[in-house]
Structure 1
Amino acid sequence: MTAADTLPDDEDDDAPAGALALEIEIAADAAGGRLDKTLAEAAADLSRARIQALLADGLISLEGVPLSDASAKARPGLYRILVPPPAPAIPEPEAIPLTVLYEDAHLIVIDKPAGMAAHPGPGTERGTLVNALLHHCGDSLSGIGGVARPGVVHRLDKDTSGVMVAAKTDAAHQGLSALFAAHDIDRVYVALTRGAPNPPKGTVETRIGRSASDRKKMAVLKSSGREAITHYRVEQAFGPQERPLAARVACRLETGRTHQIRVHMAHKGAPCLGDPTYGSGPPALPVREAIAAAGLARQALHAAVLGFVHPITGEALRFETEPPADMRDLERRLAEL
């Protein structure tokens, strides 16, 4: 299984402008595994996720026939991979509608929908909150976050909905960052969980860092990682009182680590419903049926409350939004269990 030299751009008329063309020979004894995995192992400079994206875009072919199914078995033969040039590092403004809760000359508070990434990243170059803010705010957006993350002070996971604040000036960015660093921000999330954490009210205090077994996941660690503190309270349990099938849990963040609530709820044995990363097993059948009926296709987590002192004016601000339709519908169905 060998990778050929990169081909000049002008040798492939079908290649995107500026693309590089790779040729990879898969021998018979190396065939039979998943296509994306096999090609990623052969092309040292391309990750499996990148191979999957190229397949989806029709940029990988076998003996001249385009391929698209990443899970198909790899067949022996000569594969051609067209690799487009990197996307521009500077995000482009996009006219994406925003639900604005508050805005002045210094900052903007929005209710982020599920499915929108906070800022551009690999595989998510467009359609992000930053793209929308660049169009909405124009040149007023703070530049402290760098060219890829202007105005971004904190993040919500792509599939977590709720209240976010972004800075429009450097002074506001510095002030908001100081508030977050000092944990002087009121942040409350609503989670719908599998089962209910026990006891029904308490504090989870651990250290969180990258998982040793999967670098894309976070995990509770014994010694390394960073301190993570979540205060939680079960607001309503659904199903049998002695053994709830699901629950609505309010989580107040004292720290703000990556995936903190998702990791902490899973650590308590009550992961967020619909969480593809930390779900650790299916919920009871009635809950699965409720999830399907509600159309929930993400983790059931919503940033409901954001409160802080305006870093420029000193005004106390507090914003609260209800969960979006998918979570509200799921909660209604869970209440009927």
Structure 2
Amino acid sequence: MTQSKSHDDSIEVAVETEAEIGHRLDRFLAGRLGRMSRSRIKALIEQGMVGDADGPVDDPAAKVRAGQIFRVTLPPPEEAQPDAQNIPLTVVYEDADLIVLDKPAGMVVHPAPGNPDSTLVNALLAHCGDSLSGIGGVRRPGIVHRIDKDTSGLLVVAKNDRAHAGLTAQFADHSIDRAYLAVVWGVPLPPAGAIEGNIGRSNRDRKKMAVVASGGKTALTRYRVLERCGDTASLIECRLQTGRTHQIRVHLTAKGHPLVGDSVYGRSRGASRQSNDIVKRTLGAFPRQALHARELGFEHPNTGKRLIFYSDLPGDMAELLRVMGVNEPKGN
């Protein structure tokens, strides 16, 4: 049985017997790595921490083939419990079951390597105490979904396990309403439509996501152009039918219209900071992806009442639209 641990905290596991061929990857690795649960292995696969000779393998259901050798990279150990920190929160709605927040750009949702504290979870622990749902685990109590560090806007957090289960089910069946405002380079054509394409880990950089030809997870983003700034940029609304990691950023980049300010997926395609045109210069200097979670609607997991919330653009994006000569749309 080939299984060796290397100096960089990774384990190599080879497919060696006919009986192993065709098994799901997570089941195969769980059988070979008895000290790790299948759910833990599945999480590592989805995080891009498992790969073979062709690069990252991010589908836990992928069938293993004869002769494949997988490398499982183990992240460094983390503290078991985040600390409560008295960090101000913008609470849009709160009751005994859930809390809806307007997250500022720059705040990470939960602790992770490189961001051990000052996260939304740290703030929630101080705000809610022990009432947060435990389903998400000690590192992510109450967290049902996430938005990126540099994306602003609305998200909902569960305060008990019943609410967590009810909200998670709605995310799974795509009955949650989620709309984002985004400023993108150029003007998408047609002016309204859908972008489809499975999203998985990039073969070139496992820290990035990409539209992949095979594997990955089904993803669908609906968009419409709200206003345009000539041919330079436009304000669009995106509605998520699925919720994959970096979905809007990846889909719009694949369509040829990356988000203004997105240093990971397309900033290099934008205008220079040194442009003589004040609009292009302002767009080129925008310091984060111009993306805001504007609308969030769901069925209350306890009362069954449909709730919908809107968030105005934060100051930096509102100023960006002002320079572009574009009006901010208002919520209903």
TM-score by length of 1: 0.71
The offset of 1:249, in angstroms, is 0.6
Structure 2 stretches of 5 or more lacking a match? 1-6, 11-75, 327-332
1:309 partnered with 2:296? no
1:289 partnered with 2:281? yes
Q: Provide the secondary structure at the position in 2 that maps to 1:250.
A: strand
For residue 236 of structure 2, the aligned residue among 249, 253, 276 is 249
Q: Provide the secondary structure at the position in 2 that maps to 1:231.
A: strand
Alpha-carbon deviations, 1:241-294, whole Å to 9, x = none? xxx1000010000000000000011111110000011115232333441136xx
Structure 1 consecutive aligned stretches of length 4 or more whose deviation exceeds 6 Å: none
For residue 94 of structure 2, the aligned residue among 91, 103, 107 is 103
For residue 228 of structure 2, the aligned residue among 208, 231, 237 is 237
Structure 1 stretches of 5 or more lacking a match? 1-42, 47-84
Answer whether contact 1:228 1:260 (CA < 8 A) is retained: yes
1:318 partnered with 2:308? yes
Answer whether contact 1:204 1:230 (CA < 8 A) is retained: yes
Aligned-CA RMSD value: 1.7
Check 1:90–1:305 CA distance in 2 against 1; reply closer, same or farther (3 A cut).
same
Alignment-derived partner of residue 194 in structure 1: 185
Answer whether contact 1:161 1:324 (CA < 8 A) is retained: yes
The offset of 1:45, in angstroms, is 5.7
Alignment-derived partner of residue 152 in structure 1: 143
Letter of the aligned partner of 2:242 in structure 1? T
Check 1:115–1:280 CA distance in 2 against 1; reply closer, same or farther (3 A cut).
closer
Letter of the aligned partner of 1:193 in structure 2? V
- Alpha-carbon distance between aligned partners in 2 of 1:177 and 1:45, rounded to the nearest angstrom: 33
Q: How do 1:16-31 and structure 2 match up within 5 A?
A: none
Letter of the aligned partner of 2:218 in structure 1? E
1:184 partnered with 2:188? no
Q: Provide the secondary structure at the position in 2 that maps to 1:177.
A: helix
TM-score by length of 2: 0.73
The offset of 1:304, in angstroms, is 0.2
1:175 partnered with 2:162? no
The offset of 1:170, in angstroms, is 0.1
- Alpha-carbon distance between aligned partners in 1 of 2:162 and 2:119, rounded to the nearest angstrom: 24
Alignment-derived partner of residue 3 in structure 1: none
Check 1:173–1:203 CA distance in 2 against 1; reply closer, same or farther (3 A cut).
same
Answer whether contact 2:261 2:267 (CA < 8 A) is retained: no
Answer whether contact 1:198 1:268 (CA < 8 A) is retained: no
Alpha-carbon deviations, 1:15-35, whole Å to 9, x = none? xxxxxxxxxxxxxxxxxxxxx
Letter of the aligned partner of 1:180 in structure 2? F
Answer whether contact 1:89 1:147 (CA < 8 A) is retained: yes
Alignment-derived partner of residue 265 in structure 1: 252
- Alpha-carbon distance between aligned partners in 1 of 2:174 and 2:125, rounded to the nearest angstrom: 28
Answer whether contact 1:266 1:280 (CA < 8 A) is retained: no
Q: Provide the secondary structure at the position in 2 that maps to 1:281.
A: helix
1:92 partnered with 2:83? yes
The offset of 1:302, in angstroms, is 0.3
Answer whether contact 2:153 2:292 (CA < 8 A) is retained: yes
1:274 partnered with 2:261? yes
- Alpha-carbon distance between aligned partners in 2 of 1:89 and 1:306, rounded to the nearest angstrom: 31
1:333 partnered with 2:323? yes
- Alpha-carbon distance between aligned partners in 2 of 1:255 and 1:44, rounded to the nearest angstrom: 35
Name the % identity: 57
Check 1:87–1:255 CA distance in 2 against 1; reply closer, same or farther (3 A cut).
closer
Check 1:86–1:256 CA distance in 2 against 1; reply closer, same or farther (3 A cut).
closer
Q: Whose Rg is larger?
A: 1
- Alpha-carbon distance between aligned partners in 2 of 1:332 and 1:266, rounded to the nearest angstrom: 24
The offset of 1:315, in angstroms, is 1.1
For residue 118 of structure 2, the aligned residue among 127, 130, 135 is 127
